[in-house]
Each structure stands twice: as C-alpha cells, then as structure tokens.
Amino acid sequence: MPSLVTQHLLSLLRIDLPIIQAPMAGVSSPAMAAAVSEAGGLGSIGVGGVNVDGARAMIRDVRARSSRSLNVNVFVHAPAPADAAVASAWIDRFRPQFEAIRGAPPARLTEIYTSFRDDDAMLSMLLAEKPEVVSFHFGLPDPSRIRALRDAGIVLLASATSLAEARLAAAAGVDAIVAQGYEAGGHRGIFDPDAPDDRIGMAILVRILARTLRVPVIAAGGIMDGAGIGAALQLGAAAAILGTAFIGADESLADQGFRDALFSDAAQHTVMTRIISGRPARCLANRFTALAAGIAATDVPSYPIAYDLGKALNAAAKAAGEPGYGAQWAGQGAPLARALPAADLVRLLADEMRYR
C-alpha cells in the first residue's frame, strides 16, 4: 500500500507507479516516453534543445503512441551573458583537439537554446497541446507563465538541488519538487551555476525536503532499481525519477559509443563538469571531461554557448571514429544500468519494489 504522499502524487499525475522516466534531452525519445507511460509510470520528453516546432512534433509523436500522462521538460536558465573574448579564447583552447581529429572548430559560438523564461511561442504551444505535466530545470519562469500553465490544468514540477531552491519552487506554486541529488547524471538543475554549490546527496536532500516542505518530493540521483526506489520512498519521497536507468533502453537515442561506454568499466567513473556545455553536468569520465583539469569556471563560456563548441567537437570526433568527446551524461548509478525495452524496465522496477 503506497504512502499517502505517494497516493496523492499518483492521483495528481494520473499514473499508477511512483516511477518517472527522466526527460533527457537528446537521449529520451517520444517512443520511450510513451512506453513508460503505457506501463504505468510517467514518461517524459525534454524539449530544451529543440524549437517550438520540434517540441510540438515530439509531443504529437508521444500522443500518437499513448493517451496516458506525459511530462514535457523545459530549460529555464538565465540568458547567457555573451562574452566574445571568452568565446574566442575557448575556441582557441580546443584547436589542438579539433586538429587531432582533422576537424575545424566553429568560427564563432552562439546561444543554441532559447530559455523557456523568454520563449512565448513555446508557452503558447504548451497551452495548446496541454501535456498533463510540465517540468522546469535550471530555475523557474515568471509568475504569469506559471499561472497560465496552471490555469490550463497542467501539473508543474521543478528541479531543486537545495532546500533554498525547493522553497522558491514551492512558493512559486509548483505541484511537486524534483530533489536532484549530486549523484544525478546530466545537467545539475542548480539555479545559479556560479553560486556556491553544497553538492547535497540524494538521500539527505530528499529527507530534508520531505521533512521541511508541504509539497510532494520526487527523488532524483543514483536510483537504478526497485531497492533504490523503495529507499527513496522510505526517506519520504512520493516517487522517484530515473534517468541513467533508461539510457540503455531500446527506445533510447544514445549512440553506440555511449552505450558501449555505459556497459563497460567506464561506467564506474563519472565527473561533474561544466566544460562540455557551460553548466555543471555529470558525464561518464571520457576524453572530453579529462580536459577539465586546470580550466577555471570563468574561462568557460556561459551555458549554452560552450555547448555549441562541445557539440561541434563531438560531431567532428564521431566522424573521425572517436566516441570519447560525447556528452555522455550519466549518473553515479551507471554501473547498474540495464539494456531492456523501457516498458520491460518499468515492469521490472515495479516488481523489484514489490509494488504491483
């Protein structure tokens, strides 16, 4: 029998299992989200890296496969302060890597993603398409946007890496907080990437938020199996969100180099680095992350400007047969990843937690 807080969240999200598949922009897919939702969890897509037309197409792709709840994740980062000198030095810094793979760096770096803070077209599209759930990463949109989404009947989630961020999200009116521990793979949701980061682990972050806030808490970071989900619920979480557990799923967009690394000893080592994208993010230790030593945070162009170079470097390297420059976002649970169809994984997780 699930706890009252879990029952409340399941009812709010209209799902059967306290299992949320993390929106991993570039790795999760409409097919994955639909499979998870059909299996009783909450499937998610990340639209932070696509424009409004791409996002609408993804939502409709999920809708064609499933009529169950869908979570659409948006990036709500502060706009990047463009600094031409920093960007130019950044390009120069990586010339040796491009030369080694006979590639050429971009001539200039651009802000490749639009923040949802400023994206009226994305807001209008979401209000029209009405996904059951919208989740915020990197911060919170202004009150009018939150009100518009709520008025449309959309349930709102927001990532927090600290009690202070969680309090801001709760005060802004989100329905549940994703407590993202330091173990979590991919981009750390910290609102201000230049502020001190207490790097709080999942278990104690969930416990502190669950004991302090009146809003449901969803645990994120290092959760890979039914025991992990059960532990998160025991700590007071209403549900758990799993990303790395789904990277190896059939429906994942992870490329072969990433899958090979995930199912090798390379999974034992992950690194929180900002050099790939401009924001702290946890990645399998690879050739790219190894370049971080000695680079000061102030030398890295702001997110997502640095990511423009990061993506170009990976593309050139892949073309040269070198998979080690990928943004192989993964959490500390990577050694426990499994390769299964997403629906089978959801059923296995439910079975492992004896929650049927």
Sole window of 145-153, 177-185, 317-325, 339-347 interacting with a copy of itself (rule: CB under 8 A): 177-185
Shortest Cβ distance from residue 193 to a copy of itself (Å)? 16
199 sits in the region (left: phi over 0; alpha: psi -120 to 50; else beta) called: left
Rounded distance, CA 189 to CA 186, Å? Answer: 9
Q: Give the one residue of 100, 227, 297, 319 binding a copy of itself; rule: CB under 8 A.
A: 227
User: Which CB, 118 or 351, lies closer to a copy of itself?
Assistant: 351
Q: Which stretches of 104-171 are assigned E, i.e. beta strand?
A: 133-137, 155-160
Cβ neighbour number for residue 26 with a 10 Å cutoff: 17
Does 183 bind a copy of itself (CB under 8 A)? Our answer is: yes
Q: Smallest distance, Å, CB 288 to a copy of itself?
A: 15
Give the count of alpha carbons within 13 A of 32, CB side only: 30
Helix (H), strand (E), coil (C) string for 299-341: HCCCCCHHHHHHHHHHHHHHHCCCHHHCCCECCCCHHHCCCCC
DSSP code of residue 30:
H
Burial track 218-240 (b if 16+ CB lie within 10 A, e otherwise)? bbbbbbbbbebbbbbbebbbbbb
204 binds a copy of itself (CB under 8 A): yes
Task: Find the part of the chain contacting a copy of itself (CB under 8 A) among 268-276, 304-312, 313-321, 342-350.
Answer: 268-276
State which amino acid sits at residue 91. Answer: I
Half-sphere exposure of 41 (CA within 13 A, CB side): 30
Name which position in 43, 221, 248, 278 contacts a copy of itself (CB under 8 A). 221
Q: Is 29 in the site for a copy of itself (CB under 8 A)?
A: no
Sheet with 133-137, edge to edge strand ranges = 19-21, 239-242, 217-220, 176-180, 155-160, 133-137, 70-75, 43-46
Q: How far is the CB of 196 from a copy of itself (least distance, A)?
A: 7
User: Cα 112–73–253 angle (5° rounding)?
Assistant: 70
Task: Based on the shown chain and the rule CB under 8 A, indicate whether residue 173 belongs to the binding site for a copy of itself.
Answer: no
Comparison of 286 and 332: residue with beta carbon closer to a copy of itself: 332
How far apart CA 299 and CA 302 sit, in angstroms, is: 9
Closest distance to a copy of itself from the beta carbon of 163 (Å): 7
Distance of alpha carbon 150 from the chain centroid: 22
Give least dist CB 296 to a copy of itself, A. 10
Contact pick of 181, 257, 280, 301 for a copy of itself (by CB under 8 A): 181
Locus of tokens 């989404």? 149
Find the angle CA(298)-CA(303)-CA(307) to the nearest 5 degrees. Answer: 105
Residue 235 interacting with a copy of itself (CB under 8 A) = yes
Task: Check residue 163 for interaction with a copy of itself (CB under 8 A).
Answer: yes
Determine the Cα angle at 92 with ends 293 and 325, to 5°.
Answer: 55
Q: How far is the CB of 270 from a copy of itself (least distance, A)?
A: 7
Residue 264 binds a copy of itself, judged by CB under 8 A: no
Span 123-162, contacts to a copy of itself by CB under 8 A: 162
d(CA 179, CA 209): 8
* Options 269, 295, 338, 344; binder of a copy of itself; rule CB under 8 A: 269
Residue from 130, 199, 259, 338 that binds a copy of itself (CB under 8 A)?
Answer: 199
Q: How far is the CB of 311 from a copy of itself (least distance, A)?
A: 26
Q: Which of residues 56-115 bind a copy of itself (CB under 8 A)?
A: none
**2 belongs to the binding site for a copy of itself (CB under 8 A):** no
Q: At what angle do helices 30-38 and 52-65 cross, to 10 degrees?
A: 40
Closest to a copy of itself by CB, 272 or 309: 272
Binding segment for a copy of itself among 36-44, 153-161, 264-272, 301-309 (CB under 8 A)?
Answer: 264-272
Q: Which residues bind a copy of itself (CB under 8 A)?
A: 162-164, 181-183, 196, 198-205, 207-208, 211, 221-225, 227-228, 230-232, 234-236, 268-270, 272, 285, 331-333, 335-336
